């Protein structure tokens, strides 16, 4: 059972090598395979851990992560790839590794923050990061006022739980906006109402940040008649050279949310780059195939530069 969970490289572990685990539920995903390949290529031992089938055991100063009846207690670093549907459970697994002083490219707190669209925007706003003007309320009678606050129509309505472009509606008239908002309120759904940036023309920028540096960037364009630029929705992508302010904005956004690795999505507006989302588990396929860059390798290099090797770890008290 434990062998089905872990995929070892054929390399012998040396003193300067590490055991790095990718937390993923699907070994066939492009991002998962690329990370495992990059770990092995740089001479480390690669493991695949299905976080959804793992569990935690807690006792005084002795937290463990288990799969079946075996403890996973000899990992040097983890690269979490946590799906939106298992955010809460995935964060508990990451937190357990954190308590064991295992280096993680994504902290449990940063994961939870980034998955909450409202909380993320509140944090970005406080940090001085440019964002489209956004409103949130659960009071249906505020609809007219909210539409006015975000600059009128057209406007964007987003479900807080939506992913990959799903749960996002462009309302082009006031009547359409009111109808959509009333429908969502009737379903007791949490929504954001956001200013529409018409000059973006259905395109956005994805900046891939690793360790406080932008290691790759692409511009994504929605298909004709589509305001969403997601590649999953049929959009196209091309390499883009970011301006200084665009790089600074992407790095500042990732830092504000405590993310070491992030896909920062921005719109090019008349008042500068505006962040619309910060992804804590950004996919590698689109950015690597568009830019031709080894983003997975950059992630492993970042771990190498940050981790304290096993033979020099201090025996600190366990904490979160």
More confident residue, 292 or 4: 292
The band of 45, judged by pLDDT with boundaries at 50, 70 and 90, is: very high
CB neighbours of 99 closer than 8 A, spacing ≥ 6? 63, 318, 319, 320
The band of 10, judged by pLDDT with boundaries at 50, 70 and 90, is: very low
Residue 218: strand pairing partners: 206, 239
**Can you say how many angstroms the Cα of residue 136 is from the centroid of all Cα atoms in its chain?**
22
Token pair, residue 201, equals: 């023309």
CB neighbours of 237 closer than 8 A, spacing ≥ 6? 206, 218, 219, 220, 221, 231, 286, 290
Residue that the structure tokens 């904005």 belong to: 249
Domain 199-301 fold: D-amino Acid Aminotransferase; Chain A, domain 1 (3.30.470)
The band of 231, judged by pLDDT with boundaries at 50, 70 and 90, is: low
The pLDDT value recorded for residue 62 is 85
More confident residue, 210 or 230: 210
CA–CA gap between residue 17 and residue 21 (Å, rounded): 13
> How do residues 72-128 score in pLDDT, each as one tens digit?
988 999 999 999 999 999 999 999 999 999 999 999 999 999 999 999 999 999 999
* Sheet with strand 77-80: strands edge to edge: 45-49, 19-23, 77-80, 103-104
Q: Please name the CATH architecture into which domain 134-196 falls.
A: 2-Layer Sandwich (3.30)
**Angstrom distances, CA of residue 231 to CA of 16, 115, 140, 228, 234:** 39, 20, 33, 9, 5
End-to-end CA distance of the chain: 29
Question: Within 10 Å of residue 192's Cβ, how many Cβ atoms?
Answer: 20
Tell how many helices (H) and how many strands (E) occur in the chain.
10, 16
**What CATH number is given for 2-112 in this structure?**
3.40.50.20
Assess whether pLDDT exceeds 90 at residue 4. no
CA–CA gap between residue 67 and residue 52 (Å, rounded): 10
pTM above 0.75, yes or no: yes
């Amino acid at each position: 059972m434990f062998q089905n969970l872990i995929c070892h490289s054929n390399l012998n572990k040396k003193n300067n090598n590490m055991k790095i685990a990718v937390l993923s539920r699907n070994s066939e995903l492009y991002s998962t395979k690329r990370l495992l390949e990059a770990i092995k290529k740089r001479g480390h031992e690669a493991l695949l851990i299905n976080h959804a089938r793992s569990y935690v055991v807690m006792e005084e100063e002795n937290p463990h992560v288990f799969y079946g009846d075996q403890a996973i207690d000899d990992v040097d670093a983890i690269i979490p790839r946590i799906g939106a549907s298992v955010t809460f459970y995935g964060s508990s697994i990451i937190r357990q590794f954190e308590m064991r002083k295992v280096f993680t490219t994504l902290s449990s707190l940063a994961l939870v923050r980034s998955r909450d669209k409202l909380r993320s925007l509140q944090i970005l706003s406080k940090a001085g990061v440019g964002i489209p003007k956004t409103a949130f309320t659960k009071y249906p009678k505020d609809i007219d006022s909210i539409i006015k606050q975000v600059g009128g129509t057209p406007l964007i309505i987003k479900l807080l739980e939506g992913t990959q472009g799903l749960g996002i509606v462009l309302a082009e008239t006031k009547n359409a906006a009111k109808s959509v908002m009333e429908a969502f309120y009737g379903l007791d759904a949490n929504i954001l109402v956001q200013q529409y940036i018409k000059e973006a023309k259905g395109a956005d920028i994805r900046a891939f940040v690793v360790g406080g540096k932008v290691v790759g960037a692409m511009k994504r364009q929605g298909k004709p008649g589509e305001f969403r630029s997601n590649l999953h929705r049929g959009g196209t992508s091309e390499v883009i050279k970011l301006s200084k302010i665009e790089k600074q904005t992407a790095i500042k956004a990732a830092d504000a949310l405590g993310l070491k690795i992030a896909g920062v999505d921005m719109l090019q507006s008349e008042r500068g780059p505006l962040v619309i989302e910060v992804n804590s588990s950004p996919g590698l396929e689109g950015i690597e195939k568009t830019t031709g860059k080894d983003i997975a390798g950059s992630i492993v290099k970042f771990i190498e530069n940050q981790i304290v090797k096993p033979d020099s770890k201090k025996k600190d008290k366990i904490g979160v």
